[in-house]
Structure 1
Amino acid sequence: MNDPRAFREAASLFDADEAPEHVLGPGRVPSYVRDHRKRLRERFLQGGATAMPDYELLELVLFRAIPRQDVKPLARRLIERFGDFNRVLTASPERLARIEGVGEAVVTELKIVEAAAQRLARTKVMHRSVLSSWDALLDYCHTTMSHRETEQFRILFLDRKNVLIADEEQARGTVDHVPVYPREIVKRALELNASALILVHNHPSGDPTPSEQDIALTSQINAALTVMGMVLHDHLIIGKSRETSFRAAGHL
């Protein structure tokens, strides 16, 4: 196949790591890479992700970004650097790009998977009564926030029937602090015509125990909302594997 255009068109008909060698030419995928990828895909289709270690699940994601190389070393480097599959997905593009072998295609693929996971979890809570789907709400909060390396403060705005009408990020901060202003929260709640709120923020340390500052701030926000006739249902602090509810802990 001497025509370069014809070569590109033929190659585009195949998945790069499954295309016949005579089509892919000199840059073809080594047979051991094709065989390894095939085995991983078959294991995933037959048994799902439960029995797969994090680096193998990450390999499956990397296959599309790097179609003609063995991605196992890169998957292991990413896991070693960030700790687990979820932390790799939620790492910032800037930090990911510092890892040898990570280019724009890899960052894009990882961020697509992260966005898909968050959107799937979000659909289970949006426009539904939050108080009757509490477990789904906690799953969403953990999916979105538990593996972040800096603090994030989110507000869930509810209507009179406690249906979630908006989920917004109010602020981002450092590893142990995020700036939050009660007046801005009240202002936004009024704009959305919300009747109730749930506050959510994460502790990058993994420990969801509230600080004295967390408790004081929550009290200030609750007082401001009460004056405006709105209810603060809860304030959730999301840790790595568990969460703290201010309502359950007696802080509200």
Structure 2
Amino acid sequence: MPNNPSYIGHRERIREKFASAGLDSFLDHETLELLLTYAVPRKDTKPIAWALLKKFGSLAAVLDADPDQLSQVNGVGPATAQFLKLIRAVFKKYSLSEVKERITIRTPQQVLEYCNASLAGKQEECLEIIYLSVRNTVMGTEVIASGLIDRVAVSPRKIVECALAAKAPAIILVHNHPSGDASPSQEDIELTRDVVRAAELFGISVHDHIIIGKGSHYSLKANGKI
């Protein structure tokens, strides 16, 4: 009888390690190896994991990458690329559900985890609205604009119209800076102030505008910009 390929034993060991201890002791490459065992049949996933990390730099960057970028790595086919994107999408939905289950949202920190899950790592700038009830519970979210890396073209009127359509008495604005620097531009500040003024006419409160960078964030409310 021929011996089983060595990777079969490695798959079993890494799954057993996760079953007994979770991911806390896993390094990035081990986490990727484990994920890939569920998407890549009959192959050693270790070299694929290392190749992904070499190309993208980190586990987070791998999960943020587009499927066509992932598919450029040897051993990563379309199905595997979609699987990795699914992991990222599931994390986003989980983070949103965690936010929705909170009784109230009173500080930017309470929504930051969702904001990072939703927008961190995106390669184009996006503007998202978090709709809040009168008790500051999350009613829903909506990405209302996306564009080139250096700007998002959206009007205060559109933002207010979206809030009215959602029947939301309060909102939080969130957008990302793909450059990595979370500091607001003058355009960001002026847009936010225009939205605040326009929303007030309809009894809608703008609780904050949070900008997501790479490993950082900026709250216009906390920094006295609105």
Q: TM-score, normalised by structure 1?
A: 0.83
Higher alpha-carbon Rg: 1
Query: What secondary structure is seen at the aligned counterpart in 2 of 1:180?
Result: coil
Please tell me the root mean square deviation across aligned C-alpha atoms, in Å. 2.0
- CA distance in structure 2 between the partners assigned to 1:38 and 1:70 by the alignment: 12
- CA distance in structure 1 between the partners assigned to 2:198 and 2:44 by the alignment: 56
Please state how far the C-alpha of 1:47 moved relative to its aligned partner: 2.7
How is 1:47-196 mapped onto 2 (pairs within 5 angstroms)? Answer: 47-126=21-100, 128-132=102-106, 135-196=109-170
Please state how far the C-alpha of 1:99 moved relative to its aligned partner: 2.5
Contact 2:108 2:219 in 1 (8 A): no
Structure 2: give runs of 5+ residues left out of the alignment. Answer: none
- CA distance in structure 2 between the partners assigned to 1:175 and 1:195 by the alignment: 30
Q: Which moved more, 1:131-140 or 1:89-98?
A: 131-140
- CA distance in structure 1 between the partners assigned to 2:20 and 2:102 by the alignment: 34
Q: Over residues 144-181 of structure 1, what are the superposed CA-to-partner deviations in whole Å (9 max), with x where a residue is unaligned?
A: 22222221110011122212112001111222222222
Q: What percentage of residue pairs aligned between the two structures are identical?
A: 38
Please state how far the C-alpha of 1:127 moved relative to its aligned partner: 5.9
Counterpart in the other structure of 2:199: 225
Please state how far the C-alpha of 1:94 moved relative to its aligned partner: 2.3
Structure 1: give runs of 5+ residues left out of the alignment. Answer: 1-20, 23-28
Task: Work out whether 1:200 is the aligned partner of 2:174.
Answer: yes
Please state how far the C-alpha of 1:133 moved relative to its aligned partner: 7.2
Number of matched residues?
Answer: 226
Letter aligned with residue 158 of structure 1: L
Contact 2:106 2:136 in 1 (8 A): no
- CA distance in structure 2 between the partners assigned to 1:30 and 1:145 by the alignment: 43
Please state how far the C-alpha of 1:97 moved relative to its aligned partner: 2.2
Counterpart in the other structure of 2:13: 39
- CA distance in structure 2 between the partners assigned to 1:97 and 1:50 by the alignment: 28
- CA distance in structure 2 between the partners assigned to 1:47 and 1:240 by the alignment: 29
Q: TM-score, normalised by structure 2?
A: 0.92
Please state how far the C-alpha of 1:213 moved relative to its aligned partner: 1.2
Query: What secondary structure is seen at the aligned counterpart in 2 of 1:125?
Result: helix
- CA distance in structure 2 between the partners assigned to 1:165 and 1:122 by the alignment: 11
Q: Over residues 17-68 of structure 1, what are the superposed CA-to-partner deviations in whole Å (9 max), with x where a residue is unaligned?
A: xxxx89xxxxxx9431011112212222233222222121011111121110
Counterpart in the other structure of 2:212: 238
